[in-house]
Each structure stands twice: as C-alpha cells, then as structure tokens.
A and B are shown apart, each in its own frame.
Chain A
Amino acid sequence: MVAIQSVTKKYGNSAKPAVENLTLTLVPGEIFGFLGPNGAGKSTTIKMIVGLLSQDTGTITVDGLDTLHEPVSVKQRIGYVPDEPLFYEKMTANEYLHFICEIYSVPYDVRQERIVRWAKRFSLHGVLDDQISSFSRGMKQKLGIVTALVHEPRLLVLDEPMVGLDPKSAFILKEVMHEFCEGGRSVFFSTHVMEVAERLCTRVGIIKNGSLIACDTFHALQERSGSGDLSLEQLFLELTDETE
C-alpha cells in the first residue's frame, strides 16, 4: 500500500535532516502506528506521504504510484487528517463536505447518503447546517475525520487524530479504523497515546531524530527487548532513552 524507500528530507540550510534514510512499508489491511518524541520527524514523514513536502532523496509510493510523479492520483487515494484542522470556516459543514465530494469526484447520487452516514456516526448530523466557525476544537476534529472518509480513500493518513476528541468519539474512531482496514485498505497514523497504539495497531514504527529505530508488531518488540511484559509505553521510553 505504502512503500517508503531510503527517504531523506532536510529543511533549508539545517545541518541535520528531519528524516534520514527512512525505509518502511505498509501492507493492505494494516493499521500502522507511527510513534516518536516531539520533533522526531513524524509530521514531516506524513506530509511527504500526502504530497505536501518532497523528499530530497528516496521514493515514496502509494498503491504503486510515486508521490512526486503522480501527485494527483496519489492524493485521490488518500484521506488526510492534519494535526491542526483547517477549513473554510464561513461554509457550513454540509457545504464543506459537498465541496470536498466535488473535489474528489464523488458521484452526486451517493454524496448525501455518505455525508449523512458519516456525520451520524460522529454525532455531527445535528450541526451539519451550522457554520464551521461555530464549532469547538473537538467538533472540528470530527469534521476533519468525516472529510477524510467521505470520498472513501484507499489509505487513511492521520496526524494525531485523538487530540480534542471526547472518549466516545475516540472510541468510534478506533472502531472506524478497524472497519476501514477490513476491506484491504490501510491506516497510517501518528500518536502520542501509547495505549491507543498498543491496542489498535497491527505494527508500530518508532522514529527518533529522523531515523526509524524500531518497526514491528507490539509482541515482536516485546520479545526483542527480552522482557515479555513491558507495555508499549515502557518500550517506547526504553527505545527513545527518555526514562531518566
């Protein structure tokens, strides 16, 4: 589904790359959790996958399509939830979702059904005709998730999706992520909530200072550490040397 091959990205004249020689693959039907301390390179990697940033070296493909050479086709396959939700705030949620459907060429006859279905799932149905500017941070986050899902992408890329969500919505999102992958589609998401990653992810990748330091299933990571009962949080702290 996603293949990142020897990718390096440097910002401006910075001496140290934000992401260095990163290689990882994401198979269909997989939920991949991308973990790392602040400034480790998670958001940079995500922005390269969704086509906002270009890598200096290496290649990234989504469904076999190169992100730099076929950006439009790649974007068409991705549903992206950024860390900070961005909207045209003077539109109503309904107008905005119809606009997104138009941009992603969602057939007109299925739009309304999809919008209402996803809005109901995230309890936004009652505010669809309200201006987005009147939404709280959590409501905006939920609208961002609905926006990413409404065009039925092949890959869901989420940057810190749990931020601002109430417990019920966070639970629904986890359910949705599972259902999404059942049909052979994949989820790539970054998070700081280790419990979520531990319970939800098929595999996790841990990035530190721009380099991938671990990438496997939770149980394989436990075995590799030599202690079978460590939580992901403890493993993360051990691997990133942040226990002291």
Chain B
Amino acid sequence: MLLGAAGKGDSRWEQFVTISFENKKSKSRKKSRLIIQLLIGLSILLAAGSMAFMLGVNYYQMEILGSIVGIDGFSWFMGAFTAALITLMFGMFSGGSVLYHGKDLPLLLVLPLTQRELLVSRLILHYKANFILHTILFLPAVVVTILVHGISLSIIVAALVQIILAPFIPLSLSLVILHLFVKGKKHTRKGRESWAIIFMLTLLVVMQGLASRWMQSGMDSSNLENFAKSFGSVLQDMQRILLFPKWQMSMAIGSHTLVNGLYFILAVAAITIGAIYLVATAYGETVTRLWETSTMVGKHNGRPHRSYTGHYALEWALVRREYAIINEHSAFKMELYGEAVIPLILVIVYAISGVMGEFKVILEPFFVLDIFPLMITGALLLTASLSMMSGTSYSREGKLLELSRTMPLEGLSFVRGKMAAHLMLFYSTYLIFSLAALAIFKLELLHALWILPLGFFVVGSSACFGLAIDSRNPRLDWKLPQQAVKQNLNGVASMGISFGTIVVLAALGYLLTQRFGLSAFASGLLLVVPSACIWWLSWKLAVSGARTLCQAQ
C-alpha cells in the first residue's frame, strides 16, 4: 500500500500525463503539446538508443582488449563494473531523498507504521528507482558477449540473475555511505546533494570524454594493441581485485560458472543484509532527527549582512534574486548550470584525454583559411547563445511573478538584472572559450578586439530576445518545474531567434570576406556594428515586454 501511494505520487508516467493533458480547455494547444510530447519521447528514445550503442561500442572495444591480454568476457566485466559505479552515484543521490528526506515522510511518520514497514517500503522504492538505469547500462555488455561468444544457457541465466541481483551491490553501498553521511553531526541535505551532483556530473563527463575517445579510434586493433601493451597489467590487476564484476563475468563465461554464481549470490546476500542491518539499527530515530533539525535555528542570527552598496546595488540584488529562483528547483539548476558548465568541463576533459589534439588535427586544413577566426567565433557564439536561461526567465518565477509585480521597479530594472544574470553565466563561459581558442589555435591576440564585443552583443541579444518572448506570454501555471523550462515553447523560440541572429551575422561575415575581400579582422570589427544594432533592438523589445508585464492587468 505504501509503495502504491508513493508510486502514485512520484510516477514519471503520471508526471508525463500531467504535462501532456493539463490544459483541457484549448484543443489546439492540447494537440500541439501532444506533438511536442511525442517529439520529446522520441528524442528520449533516440538518446537512450545512442547511449546504449555508444556503450556497446565501448564494451566491444573492451572485449577485444581483454582477448589481447588474455581475459575472456572482459566486456561483461566492464559492463558490470560501469553499471555498478553509475548506479552507486545515482543511488547516493536518489537514496537520500527516498530514505531520509522524502516529502511524504512527515506524513508517514505520524501514521501507525512500524519502523520495519517504513524501511522496507523505502528500500523497495530505492531499488525500483535505480533498477532500470542499472539494466540499461549493463544490457549492452550482455549483447556484446552474445555477439562474440555466442548464446548459451549460462549466459542467459547469468544475465537474468545479474539484472535482478546485481543492483543490490551498489545500492547497498549507497545505503552504507548515506548512513555515514546522515550520522554525521554536520550533515545537511544540500551538502550531500551537492557532493552527489558534483560526483555525478564529473563521472558523466569523464565517461563521455572516454567514450568519445574510443569512438574516435574506432575499431582500429593496432591502437588497441598499443593500449594493451601499456595497460595490460593494470587491466589484469583490476580483474583480480574487483571481485564482484569478476564473479559476474565468470558466472557467464568460463568453466566454473556455477561456483562463481554461488560466490556472487552469497556475497550479494551478505552485503545486502549487512547494509540493511546497519541502516535498520536507528532508521526511525534518524528520520525523525533529520526532520527536527531541518528547522533548527542558526547560530549567528541577526548578524549584519554584507552586501554591495555601490551604484549598481539594485541590479546586483536582482541578479541574486535571479539565482535564488534558479536554486529553488534542482530541475532549473541542472538545466541552466548544465547548459553553461558542461561544455566547459567537456573541453577540459577533451584536452586531458587528448581528443582535443585530434580535433586540432581534423581542423588543421581550415587553419590556413583567412576566415578561420570567424568560423571558430561562430561556433563559440552558438554554444553561448543557444540557452533556455532568458527565454524561460519570467516563466520560472511562476507564482512569484506576482511578488515581482508588487515591487516599486520599472520594467527596465528587471531587464537589467535578468540580462546581467544571463551574461554572468554565458558571457563568462564565452570569454573563457574564446580566450582558450585564441591560445589553442595560435590566433593573433588582436582578434580579441572584435571577438569579445561581438560576443557581448550576440549573447546579450540572445538574453534580450528570450526575455522579450517570455514576457509576452510567460508560462506561470506550471505544476512541475520541468514545465517552466524543458516544456516551455518560449525557450525553444528564443533559441531559434538566437540561432537566426548568428546565421544572419555569419552570412554578413561571408559577404564581407568572400565578396568584398576584407580580412577576418576587418570583417569581425565590422560585424560588431550590426550585432550592436540587433542587441539594441532586442533590448527595446525586452524592456517594452517587461514594462507591459509589470503594469496592472
């Protein structure tokens, strides 16, 4: 019953239905929303499919690598290891919410439930929440093993047993880590979630970087042979030390499948029972304590608040407000900070993993072209401008927009604050990217004279067009934060306009260099003028939109 109730409240399907069918008044709107949902569904399937394919390619490379160093079924080993590692990361993130900070826990704590009933229901929810992820990560390894070694009874049995039982290992570990976290006196939900997010993002980006590297080298076995020469002993050590994936692998491939299967099952049972026993010792008390301390009084209340008091104090206050709204929901944080930061982390990972060098080799023929600085700037502008930040800015406020509208401020002030928040996130990353590009591609520093102002105006106009669109028809009646960002057509429209702006500027750049024979530097400088005009127009539109929104309605 507890599981049913939790499932009803937390069901992804229910959320999907809420998003799709919430507006029954307008048939055309309902239809267009359905089409969008269909497209989103297809995109999710495509993304999952491509992820599974990429994993499969990587596992296949691992299988070849294993055969070179004498390990049969190494893809299975790596599949089991990868699935366990990522499930552990996600388990740490979701486990805390399910076990200790669930929104329904205050309600459940007052019901006549035993500690055991509550814990069992939460553990099953924890397993349910991570089971599919583990399976998606693990299944490509099974497919690769079948392709290489052929299908057999031991492989089928091992796959079925491991799909069901293997998630218990990372999830039990996540229980132990969470238990240690919540036992700590300084534990805060924010702190734990922040660590989990940092771990998760880093792991995802590193995996993406490594995966791209494997994709780059393709199926070239000579490359793998070199790798095996260098890291063969490391792989053999890994296989010796990491007992769980080793037993999992040997359960499917090899001569002692039954014995290894028994080892695996017994070890899973032992670790699971141990972890549950540890958590169960004081589960009820811990949950109650966490809820009590969540409203505890701070130690230094009423201390003077330090804040900037200069000429732009109002704008700075509005910028802080903008980030306070983003920080209200993890969906906003993941979407917007992710848009700004993930490309940056990817560049760092690509640089470390050497993929950047390969990009450089691919781009070498273009280096000699005079328009190369314009091309690179165009690409960087696309990265910095295609964002949902401003196109959903008013929508993200939701009910809080009423609070904004009671403030004694002109629309202009809101636009200034929102644009500054946008520039802080996206122009700063553009600055880093463009300076890095100047250094990596050994371009003359003089190009910075047009690259930086051009970026300012293009990123600024992207912000203003977004604000102008969102101010005219903000989506304020959202039930789930995703509806304000991911499901918001204003964001898509503003990205479309930003894309159009860059296309127009690219066409002008082409005309200046190819038709009029101007240098890249001169063309870049000249492009600053139309970009400033576009920014001015977008600014006017954003301010007039904000003015209308602030007016009594």
Which A residues have a C-beta under 8 Å from some C-beta of B?
48, 50-54, 67-68, 71-76, 78, 80, 82, 86-92, 94-95, 98-99, 102-105, 108, 111-112, 115-116, 119, 125-130, 134-136
Contacts of A99 in B (CB 8 A): 317, 320-321
Contacts of A89 in B (CB 8 A): 328
Which of A94, A125, A130 makes the CB contact (< 8 A) with B305? A94
A82–B317 contact, CB under 8 A?
no
Q: B43-51, B403-411, B516-524: which one contacts chain A?
A: B403-411
A112–B305 contact, CB under 8 A?
yes
Report how far A127 CA is from B298 CA in the complex, Å.
7
B66 to chain A, nearest CB (A): 48
Which of B303, B307, B400, B410 makes the CB contact (< 8 A) with A88? B400
Contacts of B294 in A (CB 8 A): 134
Known: A50-B406, A72-B410, A104-B408. 4 other contacts (CB 8 A): A75-B408, A86-B402, A91-B324, A129-B301
B297–A130 contact, CB under 8 A?
yes
**Smallest CB gap from B413: residue in A:** A103
Leading 6 A-B pairs by shortest Cβ distance:
A54-B552, A129-B298, A75-B408, A102-B317, A76-B408, A88-B324
A53–B400 contact, CB under 8 A?
no
Given A67-B552, A88-B328, A126-B297, the answer on whether A52 and B305 have CB atoms closer than 8 Å is no
Q: Does B32 contact A (CB under 8 A)?
A: no
A53–B313 contact, CB under 8 A?
no
Given A129-B300, A130-B295, the answer on whether A90 and B317 have CB atoms closer than 8 Å is no
**Smallest CB gap from B399: residue in A:** A86
Report how far A71 CA is from B553 CA in the complex, Å.
12
A98–B408 contact, CB under 8 A?
no
B397 to chain A, nearest CB (A): 9
B406–A90 contact, CB under 8 A?
no
A75–B406 contact, CB under 8 A?
yes
B405 to chain A, nearest CB (A): 6
Contacts of B402 in A (CB 8 A): 52, 82, 86
Contacts of B303 in A (CB 8 A): 94, 129
Contacts of B302 in A (CB 8 A): 94, 115-116, 119, 125, 128-129
A48–B408 contact, CB under 8 A?
no
Q: Does B68 contact A (CB under 8 A)?
A: no
Q: Does B309 contact A (CB under 8 A)?
A: yes
Q: Does B112 contact A (CB under 8 A)?
A: no
Which of B304, B314, B328 makes the CB contact (< 8 A) with A102? B314
Contacts of B314 in A (CB 8 A): 102-103, 105
A88–B552 contact, CB under 8 A?
no
Report how far A135 CA is from B327 CA in the complex, Å.
17
Report how far A94 CA is from B303 CA in the complex, Å.
9
Contacts of B325 in A (CB 8 A): 88
Given A103-B408, A103-B409, the answer on whether A54 and B551 have CB atoms closer than 8 Å is yes
A125–B301 contact, CB under 8 A?
yes
Contacts of A52 in B (CB 8 A): 402, 405-406, 552-553
Report how far A102 CA is from B295 CA in the complex, Å.
27
A244 to chain B, nearest CB (A): 37
Report how far A45 CA is from B79 CA in the complex, Å.
65
A98–B307 contact, CB under 8 A?
yes
B41 to chain A, nearest CB (A): 32
**Smallest CB gap from A95: residue in B:** B305
Report how far A183 CA is from B170 CA in the complex, Å.
67
A54–B408 contact, CB under 8 A?
no
Report how far A90 CA is from B302 CA in the complex, Å.
17
B400–A86 contact, CB under 8 A?
yes
Q: How many residues of B contact A (CB 8 A)?
A: 37
A82 to chain B, nearest CB (A): 7
B327–A103 contact, CB under 8 A?
no
Given A76-B408, A80-B406, A102-B307, the answer on whether A71 and B552 have CB atoms closer than 8 Å is yes
Offer 21 A-B interface pairs, CB within 8 angstroms, sorted by A: A52-B552, A52-B553, A53-B553, A67-B552, A72-B410, A82-B406, A86-B403, A90-B327, A90-B328, A91-B324, A99-B317, A99-B321, A102-B307, A103-B317, A103-B407, A115-B302, A125-B301, A127-B297, A127-B301, A130-B296, A130-B297
Q: Does B469 contact A (CB under 8 A)?
A: no
Contacts of B408 in A (CB 8 A): 72-76, 103-104
Report how far A104 CA is from B314 CA in the complex, Å.
9
Contacts of A90 in B (CB 8 A): 324, 327-328
A126–B301 contact, CB under 8 A?
yes
Q: Does B139 contact A (CB under 8 A)?
A: no
Report how far A68 CA is from B301 CA in the complex, Å.
40
A102–B324 contact, CB under 8 A?
no
B551–A128 contact, CB under 8 A?
no
B327–A51 contact, CB under 8 A?
no
A112–B304 contact, CB under 8 A?
yes
Report how far A127 CA is from B295 CA in the complex, Å.
9
A51–B300 contact, CB under 8 A?
no
Report how far A222 CA is from B292 CA in the complex, Å.
50
Report how far A172 CA is from B325 CA in the complex, Å.
32
Contacts of B305 in A (CB 8 A): 94-95, 98, 111-112
Which of B300, B400, B553 makes the CB contact (< 8 A) with A54? B553
A51–B317 contact, CB under 8 A?
no
Given A75-B408, A102-B314, the answer on whether A108 and B301 have CB atoms closer than 8 Å is no
Contacts of B295 in A (CB 8 A): 130, 134-136
Q: Mark B284-320, 1 if CB is under 8 A from A, else 0.
A: 0000000000111111111111010100011001001
Report how far A237 CA is from B240 CA in the complex, Å.
84
Report how far A94 CA is from B320 CA in the complex, Å.
14
B298–A130 contact, CB under 8 A?
yes
**Smallest CB gap from A60: residue in B:** B552
Q: Which of B296, B298, B301, B553 is most buried by chain A, counting CB atoms within 10 A of its CB?
A: B301
Q: Does B550 contact A (CB under 8 A)?
A: yes
Contacts of B313 in A (CB 8 A): 102
Q: Which of B325, B405, B406, B407 is most buried by chain A, counting CB atoms within 10 A of its CB?
A: B406
Report how far A112 CA is from B303 CA in the complex, Å.
8
Given A86-B400, A129-B298, A129-B303, the answer on whether A71 and B407 have CB atoms closer than 8 Å is no
A88–B301 contact, CB under 8 A?
no
A68–B327 contact, CB under 8 A?
no
Contacts of B327 in A (CB 8 A): 90
Contacts of A134 in B (CB 8 A): 294-295
Contacts of B409 in A (CB 8 A): 72, 103
B550–A71 contact, CB under 8 A?
yes
A20 to chain B, nearest CB (A): 18
Contacts of B403 in A (CB 8 A): 86-87
